[in-house]
Amino acid sequence: MMRSPQTNFHMLMVNLLVDRDRGIRPPSHLAVAREMSITLGLRQRPEPDVLVVKKEALSDLRRTSYRPEEVQLVVEVVSPDSEERDRTTKPINYSDAGIRYLWRIELEDQEPVAYTFELEPSVRAYVPTGIHRKRLTTYVGFDVDIDLDLSPFIG
């Protein structure tokens, strides 16, 4: 699959989320990964921008994909070319696979806005848990508090 050109917003947002000091800081049994695929089916291997996975999933250095049960959180940073997939297709695929938490981060008036979701198990669908501007404070099996200001990564 051809990748569309990455925007500065996309690159900087992913850098922020995976940053050891400013980004997602999971407990020791979990780890943050970026740009790794999840095997959902025979020809279905979406590649979220950022994931939180069980730490033991990282132990095999030859692995190219994670199983849904190893994934706690998926994050999609929306680019203009991926908007439809990130808003519609991917959330359905992730919820069908039983992945508990999803964030979708978009650019709005030159600022990030994070939409957070949690899986409602009885219907296997995501329900919104918040819309976050300036600061992303939520719970994904552990507390998250991220300043969404991208300026430290610009200059």
Per-residue pLDDT tens digits for 89-110 = 999 999 999 999 999 999 999 9
114-132 per-position pLDDT tens digit: 999 999 999 999 999 999 9
Per-domain boundaries in the chain: 8-149
Say what the pTM is: 0.94
pLDDT of res. 3 = 60
pLDDT of res. 6 = 82
23 pLDDT tier (thresholds 50, 70, 90): very high
Q: What is the CATH number of domain 8-149?
A: 3.90.1570.10
CA distance 47 to 144: 22
**Given a cut of 60, is residue 2 above it in pLDDT?**
no
Q: Are 143 and 109 in contact (CB under 8 A)?
A: no
pLDDT of res. 42 = 84
CA distance 85 to 92: 10
pLDDT of res. 4 = 63
25-78 per-position pLDDT tens digit: 999 999 999 989 999 988 899 999 999 999 999 999 999 999 999 999 999 999
Which amino acid is present at 26?
A: P
